[in-house]
Amino acid sequence: MNRLHWTQTIDRRILYLVLLALVVIGLLVPIPLPLVVGPQARALYNAVQQAPEDKLALVCTNWSASTQGENRPQTEVILRHLMHRHIRFALMAFDQQSTNLARELAEELAPQYGYVYGRDWINWGYRADVNGTLKGIVLSIPDTFKTDSQNRIPLTDLAKLPVMQGVHNTKDLSIIVEISPSGVYKAWIQFVVGSTPAKFGYGPTSVMAPELYNYIDAGQMVGMMFGIKGAAEYERLLIQDGTLKKPGFTTRAIAPVSLSLVLLFVLIGLGNYGMYATRNGRKQEKGS
Amino acid sequence: MKLSTLLSKLFPPLHGWPLIGALVGVLVLCVFLFFALHALPPRARKMVIAGATFLAGLFFALEWFWPAGADGTNPLTFAVPTVGNVANVLTAFTLGLGVMSLIRIHGNNVARQKAGWENSVVLLAGMVVMAVSGLFFEKTIFFRSLFRDVLNSFDAAMFATLAFYIISAAYRAFRIKSVEATLMMIAALVVMLGMIPIGQALTSFIPERGSFLSLLRVDNISNWMLTILNAAAQRAINFGLGVGALAIALRVWLSLERGAYFESSAE
């Protein structure tokens, strides 16, 4: 047997242990790494930066705990940016878990920026049907959602929900950002994007980001955050403009991702090297 | 008279007892319709379902294609939010259908003590506890603890284990045995290197932009591959998907779709 045959037969438990060690080291040990801000994250940042302050921003979250590693930091940087600019915003969700998770995140951030529920932000809640809801909000948001999700107050009750002042349909929105690991963006583009002057930005998980470039190319999507890396780029821009004082978990999370991918390259290289070495060894044995 | 005005006159907004009465009346009517539908012979039932499907699809198609007036609406536009709400309610019913199906299958497992029936007990108990806590104790620490500390942790942990499987699978299965596999490997390597700071550090000595050499930065090559090569391929795939989706949508709308799922209950 070829002496390099071991490179093809490493026990999977060793691989798991190495990966675990790299992730833990990446999270605990600060590793100074350069981070280039890509054009897509910069475009989304610029769109939020230029969004009119007198209109309502809409953040649609469709992520659950399973993808919160990527989607939660994306939601956090968007909410921080909106709050820093004092833009009022609404949350909505097409995922049952997400309506709670995004609300908890907003409640956590709101006191830091003096945001008050009902005055500066609102939660429209969860809806099961994507197409019907999006077609509905194009015409009338109060008719589609009726009440807010937290206190069941009618959206037309401006005394209790001043955040809804001047908000009738999607034409009255300043910017729409969807954070999602699913294909809901297609419905947004089909039904909403053409109906409103508000720009549409997106925060997908890394695995689904490649399918979105043609929508950015077509101008239907203003920009996006490429998974956790995109969120870290956005956070970098927030640090540069003074919204954030120092890098948070999002930037720190890039190190374990980097190390894991390097491990992936090394293992693929090792497996292939072993395969070719073994094959050459066999050929030489036959030749001699 | 406009259709919206006519409907508003026929069905004025109700409040209090008249609203409760109307809701009970609708409920009774729905129950009657449900049993009437079940009592029909399969062929007639199929025709009723096909008719309802056609009308539902026709509304959206007509509303979409009907030319809009000066105010940007047509005579059907006013009903879109209401139809959207009806669709939301119908979609919510599918959740109930899923719950019923789970209870039936796992209840059967427990009753007959099939292999792994203990797992079914845990599933049913978990479902009941989460539903009860969410419905009646939503604002309490009990629900928050179950949702945040148990459900969220389990969900995140299950998804996180994928990383371990991906590492193991890529190591065992990704063998470069053909030209296509080689191209795929090179593309994956460049794109992933361009995505991570360690990869970006390799060519960080080259200026980011403003120089011909910038084209050789790994992050710029990665971005070019994603925005040019990948976008073109994705566009082609999307065209194919769009044509296929149109064909499927027409078949479902006109009840032409055949197969076990569509036929077994009707025939």
Same domain, A102 and A213: yes
Interface contact flag, A16 B164, Cβ < 8 Å: yes
Parent domain of A24: 5-30+255-287
CB A113 within 8 A of CB A96: no
Question: Which chain A residues in 232-251 lie under 8 Å from chain B, judged by CB atoms?
Answer: none
Amino acid at B226: L
* A229 plus A266 within the same structural domain: no
User: What is residue B1's predicted lDDT score, i.e. its pLDDT?
Assistant: 60
In this structure, are A20 and A65 located in the same domain? no
In this structure, the answer to whether residues A158 and A184 fall within a common structural domain is yes
Say if residue A200 is in the same domain as residue A132. yes
- Whether residues A88 and A166 share a domain: the answer is yes
Q: pLDDT for B95-153, tens place per residue?
A: 888 999 999 999 999 999 999 999 999 999 999 999 999 889 888 899 888 988 898 89
CB A210 within 8 Å of CB A102: no
Q: Is B179 on the interface with A (CB under 8 A)?
A: no
Cβ-contact A18, A264 below 8 angstroms: no
Give pLDDT tens digits for A245-288. Answer: 888 888 888 889 999 999 999 999 988 888 888 888 888 888 77
Per-residue pLDDT, averaged over A87-110, amounts to 94
A92 near A98, Cβ under 8 Å?
no
Taking residues A5-27, what's their average pLDDT? 89
The answer on A202 and A223 residing in a single domain is yes
Count structural domains, chain A.
2
Taking CB atoms and an 8 Å cutoff, what residues of chain B touch A229? 195-196
pLDDT attached to residue A176 = 97
Taking the model in full, what pTM does it have? 0.86
Same domain, yes or no, for A225 and A273? no
Would the CB atoms of B189 and A135 count as touching at under 8 Å? Answer: no
pLDDT average, residue stretch A163-180: 96
- Which A residues in the span 182-211 are in contact with B, Cβ-Cβ below 8 Å? 206, 210-211
Do both A218 and A116 map to the same domain?
yes
Q: Which residues make Cβ contacts (< 8 Å) with residue A246, sequence separation at least 6?
A: A239
- List % helix, strand, coil for chain A (3-state, nearest 5): 60, 10, 30
Q: Are residues A25 and A43 in the same domain?
A: no
Are B84 and A144 inside 8 Å of each other by CB?
A: yes
Considering the domain architecture, whether residues A23 and A88 belong to the same structural domain is answered as no
Kindly give the confidence (pLDDT) of every residue in chain B, 267 residues in length, as a single tens digit, with 9 standing for 90 and above. Answer: 677 778 778 888 888 899 999 999 999 999 999 899 889 998 898 899 899 999 989 998 998 899 988 888 888 888 888 888 888 888 888 888 899 999 999 999 999 999 999 999 999 999 999 999 988 988 889 988 898 889 889 988 998 899 899 999 988 888 888 999 899 989 999 998 988 888 888 888 888 878 888 888 998 999 999 999 999 999 999 999 999 999 999 998 998 877 655 555 444
pLDDT digits (tens, 9 = 90+) for A175-228: 999 999 988 999 999 999 988 999 999 999 999 999 999 999 999 999 999 999
User: Contact A229/B195, CB-based, under 8 Å?
Assistant: yes
Phi, psi of B76 (to 5 degrees): -100, -15
Q: Which residues on A lie below 8 Å from B159 (Cβ)?
A: 65-67, 69
ipTM above 0.85, yes or no: no
Which residue has better confidence, A58 or B209? A58
User: With contacts defined as CB-CB under 8 Å, which chain B residues touch A10?
Assistant: 171
Domain ranges of chain B: 174-260
pLDDT at A1 over 60: no
CATH number assigned to the domain comprising residue A195: 3.40.50
- Please check whether residues A243 and A262 belong to one and the same domain: no
